[in-house]
Amino acid sequence: MQPSFWHEKWDAQQIGFHLDAVNPLLVKFWSQLGLNPTRKVLVPLCGKSLDMCFLAEQGHDVVGCELNELAVKQFYQENGLPLEVSQVGEHQKFSTEQVTIYQGDIFTLDALTLPNIEAFYDRAALIAWPEDMRIAYAKQLAKLIPANSVGLLIILDYPQAELNGPPFAVSDDWINANLSDDFEIECLASEDVLSDNPRFVKKQVSWLTESVYKLTRKV
């Protein structure tokens, strides 16, 4: 997807991917990662997700990356958070006490810009990319986090031919084939969620599965 696609979505507020509440799968499974609250958590393609507030409430410092400036500003405004803005390389850095967001292209971030990252959370980033860009994103994520970092990944899978993404379909086979070089992979849950997603029902998608993974960055 070209950057213009996402900018147009945010400008028109066509943001069906944004949830108005904390993702229940994050609430249910985050504790299973066994993370110390002092660990800093990376949230790629964070938008204005309330999941960042949940992670901060667990004691974590949260570092997001988001392409669209409007999304970042709305996050701080809607949550009543004071912020400071500075420039770091090609990115604007928006920060408050526990949540920092780098606004810009995730592919131009480097690990040196994100010191002390020890965990990550991906609910809508991997599934935002078509196949070729998804592989590049997965490699970039692996570069941004150090060995032994632990993350929670949430994906959707469905017959891709029945509906154009995003979100794009990502299968368990794809996860194991493309992430296993860099991550230890453990599937924590997988369930049928078609009835909970009216857009997919309306488009007559025949099945829809949501899966949750624990990923551990290999040494």
Tens of pLDDT, residue by residue over 52-110, are: 999 999 999 999 999 999 999 999 999 999 999 999 999 999 999 999 999 999 999 99
Q: Is there a domain that residue 132 lies in?
A: yes
What is the distance between the alpha carbons of residues 119 and 79, in angstroms, rounded to a whole number? 23
pLDDT value at position 4? 66
Q: Is there a domain that residue 55 lies in?
A: yes
Number of independent structural domains in the chain: 1
pLDDT value at position 1? 57
Q: What is the pTM of this model?
A: 0.93
C-alpha angle 107-109-113 in degrees, rounded to nearest 5: 170
The dihedrals phi and psi of 58, each to the nearest 5 degrees, come to -80, -5
What is the distance between the alpha carbons of residues 48 and 75, in angstroms, rounded to a whole number? 4
Q: Is there a domain that residue 14 lies in?
A: no
What is the per-residue pLDDT across 124-183, written as a single tens digit (0 to 9) for each? Answer: 999 999 988 999 999 999 999 999 999 999 999 999 999 988 999 999 999 999 999 999
Q: Is there a domain that residue 156 lies in?
A: yes
Token pair in block for residue 112: 């040196």
What is the per-residue pLDDT across 186-212, written as a single tens digit (0 to 9) for each? Answer: 999 999 999 999 999 999 999 999 999
Burial category of 158 from C-beta neighbours within 10 Å (exposed 0-12, middle 13-18, buried 19 and up): buried
Domain with 190 in it: 3-8+22-217
CATH number at residue 133: 3.40.50.150
Q: Is there a domain that residue 112 lies in?
A: yes
What is the distance between the alpha carbons of residues 26 and 64, in angstroms, rounded to a whole number? 16
Burial category of 121 from C-beta neighbours within 10 Å (exposed 0-12, middle 13-18, buried 19 and up): buried
Q: Is there a domain that residue 72 lies in?
A: yes
